[in-house]
Chains A and B, each alone.
Chain A
Amino acid sequence: MLENWLPFLIWTLFAFTIPASMVLFSFLFATRPKRRVRARVLPFESGVSEGPPQQHRFTVSFYLTAMLFIVFDIEIVFLYPLAVVLNELAWFGFFEFLFFVAILVVAYVYVWRKGALEWAR
């Protein structure tokens, strides 16, 4: 059982050590700031930032855009398992995939005609 998991384990080992080493080395060799300066805490606002960042209310249109992103982009996650077993499923899998995409296209045309893609004028 172990041998077909071995490549995966080696891959996980690399996936873990490389970022960890980056973080570790940058922490070890970083030059410490000489003086704590108030300006460093302020957000960068093109050179004229006054105080700490106040909380702003964001308009609802951003929420709409986020929803659209989730609808159309996260669908890819469902296609991964399909891609793995596609050759067993053969034609049935392919038509199933087409039907899945067709639903998405209907949703896309609806959203497009509704004008949700344009920024809320």
Chain B
Amino acid sequence: MAIAPERPRIDPALLRGGDVYEGTRIPSPVPTILEVSDEIRATGDVLQVNFGPNHPSTHGVLRLIVDLTGEEVVGLKAVIGYLHTGFEKTMEQKTWWKAITYPERIDYVAYQNNELVFVLAIEKLLAIEVPPKATWMRMLLCELNRIHSHLVYLGTSALEIGAISMFWYCFRERDLILDLFEMVTGYRMHTRYFQTGGLAEDIPIGFYPEARKFVDWMPQAIDDYEGLLARNAIWLERTRGIGLLSADDAIALGQTGPNLRASGVDWDLRRREPYLFYDQVDFRVPVYPNGDVYDRYRVRVDEMRESTRIVEQCLDRLEDMEGEPWIADDRKVVLPPREELHTSMESLIHHFKIVTEGYRVPAGEIYVPIESPRGEQGCYVVSDGGPKPWRVKFRAPSFVALEATATTMHDALVADLIAIVGSLDSVMGDTDR
């Protein structure tokens, strides 16, 4: 049973290199399990090792059952599910309003993007018009969150490969970003700041100068990282030409985001299917041709620079938007302001209805994809017109990224295994949902 007997040609307009090896390296009967070939099994030297749930180098509770001959990886099987939290079942029990806080815990490194994708899905079903100030602020926070996610990736995967000081560099900037989140939303992680129809609160007064300071400082910080790693002989030796993934295999395995752009396919949802105001913002989509660990690193570092530029442009727009509404004023869905409750009976009824039973979303099903730091984060929502979602399903880019472990493990050593799993940048909460 050949896998994908003949692949459809990829649109050459999207390709920037990416033909890293000819043919396909996807293992044949089961695309996600690398079987030990018979002659190696015959030598009897195969040692099965558990990179189990509690392993320092797997990011979270991923379990890899690896067959080794000496240092060489000849067999691999990923076992997931050790962090399955039953999000989708739990969200079906909660009203729309309460369910918004669940998606943040799914991909707990890119929490703003997850929350955004669920809120966008609800707003699309409700056909609510979100004020521009809220949309710009959402874009700003999501880009800050993208930098935060890439910093956590860079810090931990460089730590695994041996560049331990990178961890302290990256977590220094991460805390700067979390200070901004804390100033705007009141808490460092899982901010629950996006509300159906806009934002939960207005933007605090001192936020813009603080964000300006961060935007001015970030490019030098990225220069520090690149100074440490870009021409570091050990880093190049450990990452270049390792974990190869060609453009065909990447698309066949459903890779998205930096994993796809590092394999030479120019595909970024912010550019191809713009949502929010990404078409009014100018940024460059970094694409690299070689499809190895080093290119995934380069894509993510360049994306940090681009995100800083986007944050800067969002700030320019936001600064002359003082006093504009930051949430829609559709009383059926949005809580009326507090002071209005004392005077008008009608808003009291609205407030009561929204808080107790929850607003209702018209019946229908919808799939909204956005570009999260790991790739296409889709949210498929089915509503039966009631106050609770009927079905919520998150298309998790990390779930798909781990499918590529078997393909990228082609003649890798044990040390490369750690670099490859780190470069796929999968978050286990997102994988197991």
Contacts and interface: CB of A to CB of B under 8 A. Distances in A.
A65 to B, nearest CB: 9
Contacts of A119: 70-72, 413
B412 to A, nearest CB: 11
A121 interface: yes
Interface residues of B, number: 17
B50 A59 contact: no
Contact of B50 (A45, A56, A57, A120): A45
Contact of B54 (A46, A56, A58): A46
Interface string A45-72: 1111100000011110110000000000
A15 B54 CA distance: 39
Interface string B30-59: 000000000000001101011111110000
| Secondary structure dominating the interface of A | loop
A54 B69 CA distance: 16
B70 A59 contact: yes
B63 A46 contact: yes
A45 B52 CA distance: 7
A46 B69 contact: no
Contacts of A59: 45, 69-70
Contacts of A61: 70-71
A46 B55 contact: yes
Given A45-B49, A47-B54, 12 more contacts: A45-B52, A46-B51, A46-B55, A46-B63, A47-B52, A48-B52, A48-B63, A49-B50, A58-B47, A59-B45, A59-B70, A121-B72
Contacts of B47: 56-58
16 contacts: A45-B49, A45-B52, A46-B50, A46-B55, A47-B52, A57-B44, A57-B45, A57-B47, A58-B47, A58-B70, A61-B70, A61-B71, A62-B70, A119-B72, A120-B70, A121-B72
Interface in B56-78: 63, 69-72
A46 B45 CA distance: 22
Given A56-B47, A59-B45, A121-B411, A46 B52 contact: yes
A75 to B, nearest CB: 25
A39 B312 CA distance: 55
Contacts of B44: 57
Nearest to A47: B54
A120 to B, nearest CB: 7
A42 to B, nearest CB: 12
A58 B72 CA distance: 12
Contacts, number: 38
A6 to B, nearest CB: 45
A59 B72 CA distance: 10
Residue from B44, B47, B53, B70 with most neighbouring chain A CB atoms (10 Å): B70
Nearest to A48: B52
The 4 closest A-B pairs by CB, nearest first: A46-B52, A59-B70, A47-B54, A59-B45
A47 B70 CA distance: 23
A61 to B, nearest CB: 5
Nearest to B56: A46
A61 B69 CA distance: 9
A58 B68 CA distance: 10
Contacts of B63: 46, 48
A58 B49 CA distance: 13
A46 B70 CA distance: 20
Nearest to B61: A47
A48 B55 CA distance: 11
Given A62-B70, A119-B70, A47 B53 contact: yes
Contacts of B50: 45-46, 48-49
Nearest to B50: A45
Nearest to B45: A59
A10 to B, nearest CB: 40
B399 to A, nearest CB: 21
Contacts of A121: 72, 411
Contacts of B54: 46-47
Contacts of A49: 50
A121 B416 CA distance: 14
Interface in B65-107: 69-72
A45 B54 CA distance: 9
Contacts of B52: 45-48
A3 B71 CA distance: 54
